[in-house]
Homo-oligomer: A and B are copies of this chain.
Amino acid sequence: MHMVRIAVAGASGYAGGEVLRLLLAHPDVEIGALTAGGSAGTTLGEHQPHLLPLADRVLLDTTPETLAGHDVVFLALPHGHSAALAARLGDETVVVDCGADHRLTDPAAWERWYGGEHAGSWPYGLPELPGARDALRGTRRVAVPGCYPTAISLALFPALAAGLAEPSVVVTAVTGTSGAGRSLKPHLLGAEVMGSLSAYGVGGGHRHTPEIVQNLSGVAGRTVDVSFTPVLAPLPRGILASCSARTSASVDEVREVYAKAYADEPFVHLLPEGVWPTTAATLGANTVHLQATVDPDAGRLIVVAAIDNLTKGTAGAAVQCMNLALGLPETAGLPLTGVAP
């Protein structure tokens, strides 16, 4: 088979860098154009010194012309940019959008949470969600999920799909700071982040909320209420989502449902009973580690999921979907082992 030629728009950011890190180890891929916004004209090495084999590559402007002529184009851009670019790239190109533009199916939800005109939805890049994998095979367009919705949807859908949990869920998800990207904001400075924990977007303020609602309502067959509180913690990567809902099921019923749901999934790992996930075990890997239990005193199901927000939460999912779109083995180029300690 010929090598798949890819381009990355937004190569100087965290998501773009992680796409490249994974693709450098992908057996079937050849790395073409790397583009950026304000950093065009500089070398990749100035922004991503860890990507040694690409250090001397010069970043081009992000335009339909520089991105043309590739089999796959990864877009790692702020929201609002992908629809116009994709339209210019043509249907023969696989466009994998790491941004939010095409995740929501409901134009009203888009308008409420992001504002502006809805660009339409693309096949949703979470293959483990019921029905999603089939829609991704052979597709030319992929909407890569948000990092929080990935962890939270995988933590909760099996119980909701099986009717084991009430459709009202409470989630507190703790995350490292790379999820906010490379934006220069005071609260993301190292001196602010280290030694501190902070909540943000509380009370329905985070834009990932409607995406979580969409995913969980889809599998539950009814509207699921989602109370979502994100917490920023002092680490570069990682999401630990603590998810709960009222249940009358037993631990055994719950674990059986999860074991069955993920039995054939290469990247989702239900830990042995009594073992709880750590994000370090997923660092740099495309894996989801999870555990589920029931608190009989509180009458609640509790599921904790750990992912690397940049790998399974963004770039790993993007590559996984590219594999599905192109008919490659779904796991090609995707690490199952984390980097720890």
**A residues touching B (Cβ–Cβ < 8 Å)?**
14, 17, 21, 24-25, 45-46, 48-53, 55, 168, 170, 172, 174, 176-178, 180, 182, 184-186, 188-200, 202-204, 209, 225-229, 231, 233-240, 242, 244, 269, 271-272, 275-285, 287, 289, 291, 293-300, 302, 304, 306, 335-341
Are A196 and B235 in contact, CB atoms less than 8 angstroms apart?
yes
Are B191 and A189 closer than 8 Å at their CB atoms?
Answer: no
Minimum C-beta distance from A288 to chain B (A): 11
B238 pairs with A283, CB closer than 8 A:
no
Bound together, the chains give a CA A287 to CA B49 distance in angstroms of 11
**What are 8 A-B pairs with beta-carbon distances under 8 A?**
A172-B229, A190-B190, A190-B236, A191-B236, A192-B341, A195-B195, A227-B300, A233-B234
Beta-carbon nearest neighbor of A223 in chain B: B297
Residues of B within 8 Å of A269, CB to CB, are 52, 55
Copies in the complex: 4
Please tell me if the beta carbons of B229 and A50 are within 8 angstroms of each other in the complex. no
In the complex, the chain B residue whose C-beta lies closest to that of A190 is B193
Contact A191 B204 (CB under 8 A): no
How distant is A266 from chain B, measured CB to nearest CB, in Å?
Answer: 10
Residues of B within 8 Å of A293, CB to CB, are 202-203
Query: B339 contacts A276, CB within 8 Å?
Result: no
Collect the chain B residues with CB atoms within 8 Å of residue A24's CB: 336-337
Q: With A45-B272, A229-B302, A242-B229 as known contacts, state yes or no: A198 contacts B279, CB within 8 Å.
A: yes
Q: Are A202 and B291 touching (Cβ within 8 A)? A: yes
5 A-B pairs with the lowest CB-CB distances in the bound complex, closest first: A190-B193, A50-B338, A196-B280, A172-B172, A227-B298
Partner of A195, one of B172, B189, B225, B238: B238
> Are A50 and B339 neighbours in the complex by a CB distance under 8 Å?
yes
B174 contacts A189, CB within 8 Å?
Answer: no
Q: Which of these, B55, B177, B304, contacts A191 with CB under 8 Å?
A: B177
Knowing A194-B193, A195-B280, say if A203 contacts B294 (CB, 8 Å).
yes
For A203, the chain B residues whose CB sits under 8 A away are 293-295, 302
Contact present for A194 and B235 (CB under 8 Å): yes
Chain B residues near A300: list those with CB within 8 A.
Answer: 170, 227
Cross-chain contact of A302 among B202, B242, B275 (Cβ < 8 A): B202
Contact at B185–A188, with CB atoms within 8 Å? Answer: no
In angstroms, Cα B280 to Cα A297, docked, is 33
User: A113 → chain B, closest Cβ, in Å?
Assistant: 11
Question: Known interface pairs A174-B233, A190-B193, A244-B227. Does A52 touch B296 (Cβ–Cβ under 8 Å)?
Answer: no
**How far does the alpha carbon of A195 sit from the alpha carbon of B338 in the complex, in Å?**
12
